[in-house]
Amino acid sequence: MSANRIAVMASGKGSNLKAILQAAERGECPVNVQLVISDKADAPALKVAKDAGVADVLFLNPKEYPDRAAFDAACAEAIEQAGCQWIVLAGYMRILSGEFIARFRNCIINIHPALLPSFPGAHAVRDALAYGAKITGVTVHLVDEVVDGGPILAQFSVPVQSDDTEESLHNRIHAAEHQLYPEILKRMIEGKFSIEDRRAVWKET
């Protein structure tokens, strides 16, 4: 199992996947995206992966499995077979089973379009606007059994403008995600952090 070999799980457009692949190609992020898994047959992320020459690109249909645990077990087998050290969620819209999380404890990374613990869930940008937040942003965190509740690795703030729509704010948050995600993956793969009482502690460089 290679320390820089990662699996990416995606359900949508694959913009964060693309940002990671491009950063790797530029030599800015020392990852090898060995495997991309999607639960959606028409997810553009699959084409992003194929166009980039990712070795293993899989669509796994959740409807072909009796329950979430069985589907996640199939994903886990593919990840282990590909020899991936890290699992990167990039717009993956399924809640992972407890068995999957336990199997890859502290090796699953997610990015969320808000400053957690504020505005967890699937509608973080909409919720921030509805609440009247003046600052929101991006959080990269490890995944545990609490949705959007794992140890925070890094955050990046994005001001909310008075004329923002959900689309305009989302666009600026996406830009921040594309910058932050490859940077944090680089630091993680280089082994520059530890988890102490659910806090991510970064080593000085």
Six-digit token string for 202: 């970064």
Q: Which domain holds residue 26?
A: 1-104
Measure CA 137 to chain center.
Answer: 15
Same domain, residue pair 166 and 134: yes
* Per-residue model confidence as pLDDT tens for the chain (205 residues): 567 899 999 999 999 999 999 999 999 999 999 999 999 999 999 999 999 999 999 999 999 999 999 999 999 999 999 999 999 999 999 999 999 999 999 999 999 999 999 999 999 999 999 999 999 999 999 999 999 999 999 999 999 999 999 999 999 999 999 999 999 999 888 877 788 887 888 876 5
Catalytic position from the list 112, 141, 170, 178: 112
* 39, 72: one domain: yes
Same domain, 97 and 146: no
Two tokens, residue 145: 């059994």
My answer on whether 5 and 49 are in the same domain is: yes
Among residues 127, 204, 197, 137, the alpha carbon closest in space to that of 166 is found at: 127
Which of 52, 77, 104 is at the close of a domain?
Answer: 104
Give alpha helix (H) positions in the chain. Answer: 15-25, 44-51, 68-81, 98-103, 124-131, 166-189
Is 165 found in the same domain as 72?
no
CATH of the domain at 137: 3.40.50.170
For residues 70 and 115, state if they share a domain.
Answer: no
Q: Are 64 and 96 within one domain?
A: yes
Could you give the CA distance from residue 85 to residue 4 in angstroms, rounded to a whole number?
Answer: 7
Contacts of 189 (CB under 8 A, 6+ apart): 3, 4, 30, 31, 85, 86
Domain match, 183 and 128 both:
yes
**Same domain for 96 and 195:** no
Q: Looking at the 3D structure of the chain, how many domains does it have?
A: 2
Judge if 98 and 119 occupy the same domain.
no
Last residue of a domain, one of 104, 135, 153: 104
User: Is 123 tagged catalytic?
Assistant: no
Residue 115 φ/ψ, nearest 5 degrees: -90, 90
What is the Cα–Cα distance from 31 to 130, expressed in whole angstroms?
37
Residues 126 and 95: their CA atoms lie apart, in Å, by: 20
Same domain for 116 and 78, yes or no, is no
Instruction: Supply 130's token pair.
Output: 């509805």
Amino acid, res. 28 = E
- Cα separation, 45 vs 9, in Å, equals 9
Of 104, 129, 148, which residue constitutes the final position of a domain? 104
